[in-house]
Chain A
Amino acid sequence: MLWYKSWLETRSRFLIGLAVMMLTAAGAVLVYPRVMKLLPLANTVDTSGELGRQIREGAELMRSYRGYVWGQWIRQSLTQMGTLFAVLLGSGALLSSASGSSALFMLSMPASRNRVLGIRVATGLWELLVLALIPALLIPVLSPGVGERYPVIDAVLHGLCFFVAAAVFFSLAQLLSTVFNDLWRPLLIACGVAVALALIEQAARGQWTYGIFRLMSGEDYFRTGHVPWLGLLGSAAASAVMLYGATRAIARQDF
């Protein structure tokens, strides 16, 4: 029944996230023919400066359908919205029930705090995995509709890269939710951290080959075909440390 309670608490965020990400995935595939018609225009614009570099890079990626999907959907929509929904799913654990004051009722049950938190985390991670895989798998399913093919293995691997990296933000939000007793501070702080990391990564582009968003978008896999195992392991370890921190914090907490 703890699973059911966790599902009730997170289902609206999860279902909205799933709907939004599926819509963006479907949209990216379905507008592909029209984008291709506009592609020649990219050669006519002034290509100096950062904006120019991005246009040039975008046009270069679009030479292949795989590049288009990665550049337009995985690198942008999946990572940006996915991070937001990972934080949303991670925000609000046992403590945030306290703002709704039902924490005492939960704590009066014969279930340890670790078990309650563990099931809440497991539910959130399961939902995040679905958010990672289902929209990604929609790409190979819809691609024949625009006369293209997209490998299922690419969809699965990009989905998994996204899941493991986004789990870091999920775990951060969980950890913050054991510290703050409202939904908003964990959400805002975790989003702030994500934005800061994205800006640092953007600024260090070209000098630094590591980054959480680079990992999340599976850029190494896209460009070289190699799965970034080291980055995935590092992210999983960071998530594990933060979730362990959350269990320690919740064990000491007074309600």
Chain B
Amino acid sequence: MISLRSSAVLLRMRRVRTPYEDDISDEVLLAGMAIGDDRAALAFMRRYQHRLFGLAMGIVGDLALAEDVAQEAFIRIFRHASVFDARRGSVATWTLTITRNLAIDALRLRGDTPTDPDDQVFLGLLSANRKPEDAAVAEDSLDRIRVALRSLPIQQRRAVLLAAMYGRTAQEIAVAEDIPLGTAKSRIRLGMDKLRESVVIEEDQ
């Protein structure tokens, strides 16, 4: 848990560049936060606020609610920094998963229908910098998966994104899409299998 002395401390540090900001790994920043280091918390917030807010906005599609989600995510992250376990995954995955889960909870609390994953913000996610035929020149794993995602049949892509981004179970997807449960499960599996192949290709190269 982080112990912030006062909001004034953070405000004073807004213009302070710390050695944490550029050269320290996410994991060390978390460690600093866990022992109550305000500057580590500030650096972490600056490093991740665009990503967390972007993900929250993508899921809830509402500016005010997205800010609320992103801020609550930071509070959870700061509070639980000491229990982060790197063996279970990266800091980025951990923080984004927290944000995603909070966004899903926020939507459910509000009784909203989740944003269509092929619309609005996620259109940007899919309008990758590269076209599918350029997959061979993709530079990193995220590029590869983005290209693979864009190449999926739309029904499979919707099923995968509804599960990955909105936490929808196969049963919920079946209801939402008005399709049999078996079809929903197959779409998820086929989509994930094709995305997995992009990971395999990268690792084998």
Q: Do A and B bind each other?
A: no
User: Interface of B with A (CB < 8 Å)?
Assistant: none
